[in-house]
Structure 1
Amino acid sequence: MREGLATQVAEVGLDQDEQDRAGEILREDLEIRLLLNTARHAEAGAKFDKSLEIIPADLDHWSRAAILTGRAITAWRLGRIPLALELAAEGWTDIDAEQPVAPLAARAMGYLGYLLNGIGHAQAALTLLRQAVDVARDCDDVVELAVALQKLGGTLNFMAFDGPAAEAPPLFTEARTALAEGLALPDVSEQIQRGVLGAYGAALVGCGEFAEGEKVAKQVLEAGVSHGDRWSVAVGNWVLAMIRRDQGSLVEARTHASNAVRQAELTNDTSLLQRFSADLADICAELDDFAGEATALRRNVSARHTAMATMQEGLGQALEQRRLAIKAQRLASVAQAAAVRDSLTGLTNRLGLERTAPEVLAGAAAINCTPWLVLIDVDWFKEINDDAGHAVGDSALREIADLLRGETRANDLVARWAGDEFIILLVGDGHLGFAVAERIRAAVDAHDWRSRLGAARRPTVSIGVASGHGSLEHLFAAADTALYLAKRNGRNRVEWPDLDQAMSPPVG
């Protein structure tokens, strides 16, 4: 049996250049699920626990998604529901991150579709499974295509059996077509072929092709017994039970249905158990076998309870994750805002200015409008600190920040650059920047500082202005030159030299 497993695991659809760490992990994870199919639960659980020690964080995008969703299925079948949901959510996030274009993308979507169908989200599962088929077909990977077609066909079958009779025929027809395509594909493992063939038998029965369906079901049953594959034994028995029931051979139908239920229980496949136990209960009812019907219904209720508990647990976990995500998002927003905000004045800080300036400048260029940089330095600020103390100096800076806000527009970028220097970045035609700078200078000069500074020297501001299209560094260099002129020419004034000359590269 071990050799048979090794052969099946080797045929998982990886190309030669993919026989790397990702391929090794995928083969090991598939072996665990094959152990579950043969009812070797303890061995599967031990191997699964060991596999979780390997975190595939550094793998390529789609290998990681396939591993995560595959492990989610294993956790699901082992009854570890919270872990299954966590792995599935993480894998789904990876799937949504970009357009699926690789064979392993088809596998990941197929796994996720299987899980969604298992917890009752059939339509969402169907969308993913159809997409998985398209991706596998586009990638020209016959093994992944066979697996995707089997999952799609099986889901369509279950939807047809569970839904209104009037809606069943097109679902069975689509399933039969998909599974026939899967059976025609070359170079796939016996394990995959049995899965496709089992679903194909059910589709044939759904389409009314009972003779061919019986032939296929017996083939699946024999192959399952030969390989110790209880999943195939369960499906083969179930198809035969449906055929015998339609033929009126209810006792034989009950025997096959009972065997199907027992094998589904041994493989921990809740979806199969729900379907098979419901059919067994119906057959027992037709036979007036009330004890058998009650037993089958108890199994069905237990399976549905497991599924319902899964959905409830999943909803609770989803709500908790959403709550934590919102909380984390708010904390991140607060932290991000704090990172670009000056704690003293409440203005944007240097980091915020440097992050936002490229967008402002690019926007100005896009609409062919002039960007302006106004560089403001407080005159006599050292004397204020020395005479009145740093607390008073801080109060004066806050007052100046308020004056800057009052003389600028809401969409102008007002920032504290460093110490007693401020920058305003704005966009507008004419002499807008110079006019704003002059208003600011006049507002600071005319401000009543007595209540804050007492007898200390009142501040004024010197301002350098630069305009024109260029980077923040170029505009700052030009404005800094103008500020130097304002200081040298007596302070409490605005200077606005020619930008082209101020930004000319040095000679030599």
Structure 2
Amino acid sequence: MDHNEQDKAGEILREDREIYLLLGTDQLKEAAIRFDKSLEAIPADMDTWSRAAVLTGRAVIAWRLGRIPLALELAAEGWADIDSEPPSGARAANAMGQLGYLLNSIGHLRAAEPMLRAALDTARAGGDVVELGVALQRLGGGLTLWAMNLPPAEAMPMFAEGRALLAEGLALDKTSAQTDRTLLGAYSSALVGCGEFEAGEKAALETLEVGRATGDRWCIAVGNWVLSIVRRLQGNLVEARTYASNALRNIEMINDVPLVQRFSADLADICAQLNDFAGEATALRRNVRARTTAMSIMQEGLGLALEQRRFAIQAQRLATVAQEAAVRDPLTGLTNRLGLERSAPDVLANAAATGTTPWLIVIDVDWFKEINDDAGHAVGDSALREIAELLRGECRTGDLVARWAGDEFIVLLVGEGQLGLAVAERIRAAVDRHDWRSRLGPARRPTVSVGVASGRGSLEHLFAAADTALYLAKRNGRNRVEWPDLDQAMSPPR
């Protein structure tokens, strides 16, 4: 990617980051307006990883704005780019991290964790401090939240790993201010999860302070939530309720549905311990509303997935129809020349592998020009269709029957003895004895001249031999079968 392309991609990514920051400061309307405008710009010449970073970043924004079908569509397209080549560089780490974050938000933890770990590995290898900080926050914060729902024995290793990753992120120099804030907030919850309550409370207070100073609702919410956990563990349920209520109110403002579910459930539990039944009922209603939203998201996602699958199946069917049409003669329904040339190598290779004899039969309609001249091209076409049906009737299901060109047909088959000669004679006789009166009226009835070739060789080799035999059949009076090897084998039946 040249310098101008890098500038374009960087400018787009910076604009999208600004939109994401608006979401975190409760400026949803402004974020939506700018997001709609941003969708107009994705340069066609953008490199794979820049494009993937833009798509997944916009998927996250669409998700936070509640535009679920758009979010899933963008994520699917970005995921396809991510799977297209080995990850390398800051943009690759960004793209995988955004996708991992979105998968985590959806609740698809089994896919989210390996994606976030891959993003961190790529960020470490790339050496970009900003992306490394973001990757550490996403994985460390994810591990901490996942551990909250596990039994203590399973949760502690995850809390410890999350704490270590987040501490590493906080120790980095030159990360962004927003990354520092989110690292600190996630670190405070990891500390509490590890049983370091005093350090966790201190970090939570710092998170709350910096959140208020910058208007970052996520930091305000997380700081309050961690403080509610600490006060609850200390037995101070009244303060725990206040902090939990503040956490829930702020996280609802920025439409973070998974955290709304978590915070509202915690608030309901605290209210229940205080016998605050009204507060518990209110918190539960907010929890149900969040769960209903989450279920709606899942339903929309399922509906979109089904719709995309339906379109994929339709496209596959149309492609199959198009492929079949490309090798099918529209007049007779037989395989056309292209289809014969594509299929013949497999037939010949199979004959060679099994030690059987391939036979090529070339059929040319006698007096066809006269039929067209006397009865018209529509009648001539009708006669060709009838001959095609006669060919089908005299050949086996597995034989390759094709219209080569004009009034010339080919049959490619495999068999022992004099099978090809027998089939050729059956075809000649079927056309000769056919009642043509209903189709041709008084016009001259057609017969066929047939050339046969057999033995090992390519399609071109067999065709050249059979074409020579066809010329001999025409020269010897038409309505007959000729075979170049006639002197070395039994005479073909008449």
TM-score (norm 1): 0.81
**SS at 1:376 equivalent:** strand
Aligned ranges for residues 406-425 of structure 1 at < 5 Å?
Answer: 406-425=393-412
Which whole-Å CA distance do the structure 1 matches of 2:73 and 2:97 have between them?
A: 17
Shift of 1:32: 0.5
Does the aligned pair in 2 maintain the 1:441–1:494 contact within 8 Å? no
More deviation, 350-359/299-308 = 350-359
Deviations 1:187-214 (A, max 9, x none): 4323223323322221221121223322
Closer, same or farther: CA 441–23 of 1 in aligned 2, 3 Å: farther
**Match of residue 295, structure 1, among 282, 288, 310:** 282
Q: Say yes or no: does 1:87 pair with 2:74.
A: yes
Closer, same or farther: CA 153–477 of 1 in aligned 2, 3 Å: farther
In structure 2, what is the equivalent of residue 506 of structure 1?
none
**Match of residue 393, structure 1, among 373, 377, 380:** 380
**SS at 2:61 equivalent:** helix
In structure 2, what is the equivalent of residue 462 of structure 1?
450
In structure 2, what is the equivalent of residue 120 of structure 1?
107
Q: Say yes or no: does 1:190 pair with 2:180.
A: no
RMSD (CA atoms): 3.6
Shift of 1:72: 1.5
Does the aligned pair in 2 maintain the 1:254–1:280 contact within 8 Å? yes
Q: Say yes or no: does 1:47 pair with 2:34.
A: yes
Shift of 1:39: 1.7
Code of the aligned partner of 1:255: T
Code of the aligned partner of 1:162: N
In structure 2, what is the equivalent of residue 218 of structure 1?
205
In structure 2, what is the equivalent of residue 111 of structure 1?
98
Shift of 1:34: 1.0
In structure 1, what is the equivalent of residue 339 of structure 2?
352
Shift of 1:460: 1.3
Closer, same or farther: CA 418–186 of 1 in aligned 2, 3 Å: farther
**Match of residue 231, structure 2, among 233, 241, 244:** 244
In structure 1, what is the equivalent of residue 251 of structure 2?
264
In structure 2, what is the equivalent of residue 254 of structure 1?
241
Which whole-Å CA distance do the structure 2 matches of 1:362 and 1:98 have between them?
A: 36
Which whole-Å CA distance do the structure 1 matches of 2:128 and 2:420 have between them?
A: 63
Shift of 1:47: 0.7
Shift of 1:357: 4.9
Deviations 1:102-147 (A, max 9, x none): 6434433332332233233232323433343344445555544433
Which whole-Å CA distance do the structure 2 matches of 1:136 and 1:99 have between them?
A: 13
Q: Specify every segment of 5 or more residues in structure 1 that has no aligned partner in the other structure, as ranges.
A: 1-13, 498-508
Shift of 1:49: 0.8
Closer, same or farther: CA 441–69 of 1 in aligned 2, 3 Å: same
Does the aligned pair in 2 maintain the 1:220–1:232 contact within 8 Å? yes
Does the aligned pair in 2 maintain the 1:365–1:469 contact within 8 Å? no
Deviations 1:484-508 (A, max 9, x none): 45434544333548xxxxxxxxxxx
Does the aligned pair in 2 maintain the 1:61–1:94 contact within 8 Å? yes
Aligned ranges for residues 374-385 of structure 1 at < 5 Å?
Answer: 374-385=361-372
Code of the aligned partner of 1:460: V
In structure 1, what is the equivalent of residue 64 of structure 2?
77
Does the aligned pair in 1 maintain the 2:424–2:481 contact within 8 Å? no
In structure 2, what is the equivalent of residue 176 of structure 1?
163
Q: Say yes or no: does 1:209 pair with 2:196.
A: yes
Code of the aligned partner of 2:35: F
Code of the aligned partner of 2:448: T
More deviation, 196-205/144-153 = 144-153
Which whole-Å CA distance do the structure 1 matches of 2:204 and 2:371 have between them?
A: 94
| Identical-residue share of aligned pairs (%) | 70
Which whole-Å CA distance do the structure 2 matches of 1:137 and 1:18 have between them?
A: 24
**Match of residue 494, structure 1, among 466, 471, 482:** 482
Deviations 1:140-183 (A, max 9, x none): 55544433332222222222223445532233233234434444
In structure 2, what is the equivalent of residue 8 of structure 1?
none
Which whole-Å CA distance do the structure 1 matches of 2:17 and 2:350 have between them?
A: 53
Code of the aligned partner of 1:266: M
Deviations 1:358-401 (A, max 9, x none): 66567778889887654432222222333444444334323332
Closer, same or farther: CA 479–236 of 1 in aligned 2, 3 Å: farther
Which whole-Å CA distance do the structure 1 matches of 2:460 and 2:318 have between them?
A: 32
Deviations 1:25-54 (A, max 9, x none): 222111110111122222211110101112
In structure 1, what is the equivalent of residue 328 of structure 2?
341
Closer, same or farther: CA 347–172 of 1 in aligned 2, 3 Å: same
Closer, same or farther: CA 195–420 of 1 in aligned 2, 3 Å: same
Closer, same or farther: CA 324–19 of 1 in aligned 2, 3 Å: closer
TM-score (norm 2): 0.83
Which whole-Å CA distance do the structure 2 matches of 1:68 and 1:496 have between them?
A: 66
Deviations 1:460-486 (A, max 9, x none): 12336476555x667656655554454
Which whole-Å CA distance do the structure 1 matches of 2:355 and 2:98 have between them?
A: 52
Does the aligned pair in 2 maintain the 1:441–1:463 contact within 8 Å? no
Q: Say yes or no: does 1:304 pair with 2:294.
A: no
Which whole-Å CA distance do the structure 1 matches of 2:450 and 2:294 have between them?
A: 73
Code of the aligned partner of 2:275: D
Does the aligned pair in 2 maintain the 1:281–1:292 contact within 8 Å? yes
Which whole-Å CA distance do the structure 2 matches of 1:137 and 1:363 have between them?
A: 53
Shift of 1:422: 1.9
Query: How many residues are aligned here?
Result: 484
Code of the aligned partner of 2:445: R
Which whole-Å CA distance do the structure 1 matches of 2:395 and 2:172 have between them?
A: 71
Closer, same or farther: CA 430–244 of 1 in aligned 2, 3 Å: farther
Closer, same or farther: CA 30–391 of 1 in aligned 2, 3 Å: same
**SS at 2:233 equivalent:** helix
